Amino acid sequence: MKVHLKNLNLAELESFLFSLEEKRFRFAQVTRWLYGRGARSFEEMNNLGKEFRRKLGEKARISRLEPGEIHTSADGTRKYRFVLEDGEAIESVLLPERDHWTLCLSTQVGCSLGCKFCLTGKRGFSLNLTPAEIIDQILAVRPSLPPGKIIRNLVFMGMGEPLLNLENLQQALEIIRSPSGLQFSYRHITVSTAGLIPQMEKLFRYRHFGQLAVSLNASTDGQRSELMPINRKYPLKDLLSACHRLPLANRDKITFEYTLIGGVNDSVEDALRVARMLKEIRAKINLIPFNEHSASPWKRPAEEDVARFRQVLMDRGYTAVIRQSKGKDILAACGQLGGRANSG
């Protein structure tokens, strides 16, 4: 069986290349082709000798993802559907910003957590993505960018719970951040979680992995357990205590994501409870009006209720941002991945 190069960590890759030809500079050449230029074959690596390319072709392979479908929203958001080697499918979302792009990445096929407001969870869990399948989402989307634009931000908020695929996620992050890999700053990487305490603590032992976002979505245990079954295992008191203990860098804050559902968790009383529960934590809050889909009976809150909720938090000193979800018309917004969209 051929060695899958993008599933090797950087130390393993260097050792493998040295075993084929005892020249240390081959590592820099090959990683530049794999991650800098996104080479799809060894023949493209034209500054490597023919004999070395032949050895690589005999012993190793280069993975790739090709979008089976691309849907484009009226607001410029693009949703890419990729079919994996085993026939399963994942989705990634490219979000337009003023002078750059943000890419929302998947880490699993489906999700096992069953959050009631999330369409992805309706399909259940199939499998964890490999490091290569995580990285290849970036490499597959990058060539489609308009001239002069770059992917500046990566958010692990697509299909799946990233911390349930922690080992593969950490290996992918090593390559994403490394000067020998994709060269992203950790300040431009965000990993989202539903609040898996042991995995959160383990993630923070991996220094400078990125920024942490925690899906809060409720102001009481009763609410949160109804919306997010994981709360029965890790209730709010334990989750918030763990967040308080996490060793944040000096300027860092934890982002708490709060999906506002009309008539469910969007009252002034909810906002006041959120303000109280986060007072000991270096926190900022992203408010996400619920994105409606056919699998849920819930509704998007009224704009005045969203604004009122935000004002309560701001009056108490929090940075609170209303996140305007993009790509709703192609089921590319938060909580909508895994649904079927009309082609665009």
Q: What is the 3-state secondary structure (H, E, C) of 58-101?
A: HHEECCCCCEEEEEECCCCCEEEEEECCCCCEEEEEEEECCCCE
Taking a C-beta distance cutoff of 8 angstroms, is the pair 101, 152 a contact? yes
pLDDT tens digits for 134-152? 999 999 999 999 888 899 9
How far apart, in whole angstroms, are the C-alpha atoms of residue 156 and residue 134?
Answer: 10
CA distances to 39, 151, 154 from 34, rounded to whole Å, are 5, 17, 19
Amino acid in the structure at residue 147 = P
Contact, 95 vs 103, CB < 8 A? yes
Share of the chain above pLDDT 90, in %: 82
Give the pTM: 0.93
State the catalytic residues. Answer: 91, 334
Give me the residue label for tokens 């704009």.
Answer: 303
- Span 98-135, pLDDT tens digits: 888 999 999 999 999 999 888 887 778 999 999 999 99
Q: Please give the domain boundaries of the chain with CATH numbers for all domains.
A: 3-61 (1.10.150.530), 67-330 (3.20.20.70)
79 burial type by CB count under 10 A (0-12 exposed, 13-18 middle, 19+ buried): buried
Helix runs in the chain, H state only: 10-20, 25-31, 50-59, 131-141, 166-177, 197-204, 221-227, 236-245, 268-277, 303-315
Closest CA to 242 of 153, 159, 163, 335: 163
263-282 pLDDT, tens per residue?
A: 999 999 999 999 999 999 99
Which residues, including other chains, have CB under 8 Å from residue 233's CB and lie 6 or more apart?
Answer: none
CB-based burial label for 99 (10 Å; 0-12, 13-18, 19+): exposed
Of the two residues 100 and 246, the one the predictor is more confident about is 246
